[in-house]
Amino acid sequence: MNTSRSSNGGAPLRVGLIGYGVAGSFFHAPLVNAVPELRLDAIVTSDPDRRRSASEAYPGARTVPDADALFADADRLDLVVVASPNRTHVELAERALRAGLPVVVDKPLAGTAAEAEALGALAAERGLLLSVFQNRRWDGDFLTVRDLMAEGTLGTIHRFESRFERWRPRLKGGWRESGDPLELGGLLYDLGSHVVDQAVSLFGPVVSVYAEADVRRADGGADDDTFLALTHRSGVRSHLWVSALAAQPGPRFRVLGDRAGYVKYGLDPQEDQLRAGRRPEPGARWGAEEESAWGTLGSTERTEPVPTRDGDYPAYYAAVAEALRSGGEPPVSAAEAAEVLRVLEAARVSAAEGRVVRLG
């Protein structure tokens, strides 16, 4: 149970955001800002251009140069969001918890399941919320898959295929493409965190992992074309692809059951909307997909289009705010993050050694 945050009465909970790169500026800041129960109070970035951009986008928030300055004034905050490079996640999350602050950490929470479990234990010891930003659970197509499963339309699922593929043949540079293992770069820990989390949240614990992780682009240092085959304890097999070198992407989802299958192409539109500067507004429709992108349900005998549910990334932070107010559970827990990291660690071993890795 998490200690509720009600020291400032009914006023919005004050949020400090660490990092204003891609994750901080395109995802966390606008999504926090979209939830009335939260208020962006401080943004940490040492880059002068980013500080200027943050001040222009969020004039009500102060900008501070580093995490030390943020934690020095911890009493004025109700939540810290860590959206900095992957290698810093554990250190900053621990600092936030030791400062008495609940914390949301961008995925991956850590480099290992053991680190994630240690952070979870620290949060539990201190009665503080610790959650991981797995926004892809609120993709419209993923919500649609959940609905179809709940309705029993597909019957018993035996195979789940998920692809997160892009066409980015040229390197952008930066830590995400670094071959340094300390950076936790590469697609296995980036997009792989999402597709594994989705599979595990749908079908439960994984008992075996086989993976192929390749560096396909010239001068690349980290995996950019990766495949995982998971066997769940439930008997479902998940086949997952993440790639930066897919000139013609396959279906985003292909879910096969003994009554019907669901096939869906194209990525959820919310990321593109956020990158284009669109923002969720109260009362306005958000995350809607064009009818031409809807998936199809059925078999070789007959198929029909299925309207894609509207995506809802703001729902993640709304759930965080509710958990902080009520003392309830976070929308994504450290234990769930550790489960995903066990799979990613096994995938790294499998790819390096060319074998199936068994989990407990």
Measure the CA–CA gap between 168 and 224, rounded to whole angstroms.
10
User: What residue segments make up the domains of the chain, in order of their start?
Assistant: 13-135+316-332, 137-311+343-358
Mean pLDDT estimate for the chain: 95
Residue 5 has pLDDT above 80, yes or no: no
103-154 per-position pLDDT tens digit = 999 999 999 999 999 999 999 999 999 999 999 999 999 999 999 999 999 9
Q: What's the mean pLDDT in 203-213?
A: 98
Q: Could you identify the residue written with the tokens 């407990």?
A: 360
Q: Is the pLDDT of residue 9 over 80?
A: no
Q: One-letter amino acid identity for 248?
A: Q
Domain 137-311+343-358, architecture per CATH? 2-Layer Sandwich (3.30)
Sign of CA dihedral 65, 94, 194, 239: positive
What values do phi and psi take at 99, rounded to 5? -85, 0
Q: Helices 191-203 and 140-151 sit at what angle, rounded to 10 degrees? A: 10
Superfamily classification of domain 13-135+316-332: NAD(P)-binding Rossmann-like Domain (3.40.50.720)
Question: Residues 47, 20: contact at Cβ < 8 Å?
Answer: yes
Contact 199, 162 (CB under 8 A): yes
Determine the average pLDDT of the residues in 315-341.
97
pLDDT score of 227 more than 90: yes
The SS3 call for residue 87 is helix
Task: Provide mean pLDDT across the span 92-107.
Answer: 98
pLDDT of 180 higher than 90: no
pLDDT at 102 over 80: yes
Average pLDDT over residues 356-360: 93
Q: What is the mean predicted confidence (pLDDT) over 16-31?
A: 97
Both tokens assigned to 354: 């060319």
| Residues 65 and 349 sit within 8 Å (Cβ to Cβ) | no
Measured CA to CA, the distance from residue 311 to residue 135 in angstroms comes to 10
Q: Do domains 13-135+316-332 and 137-311+343-358 have the same CATH topology?
A: no
Please check the confidence at residue 2 and state whether its pLDDT lies above 80.
no
* Residue 172 CB neighbours (<10 A): 8
Give me the phi and psi of 348, to 5 degrees please: -65, -40
**Residues with Cβ within 8 Å of residue 194, at least 6 apart in sequence:** 107, 134, 136, 164
53 has pLDDT over 80: yes
How confident is residue 284, by pLDDT bands cut at 50, 70 and 90? confident
pLDDT category at 1 given cuts 50, 70, 90 is very low
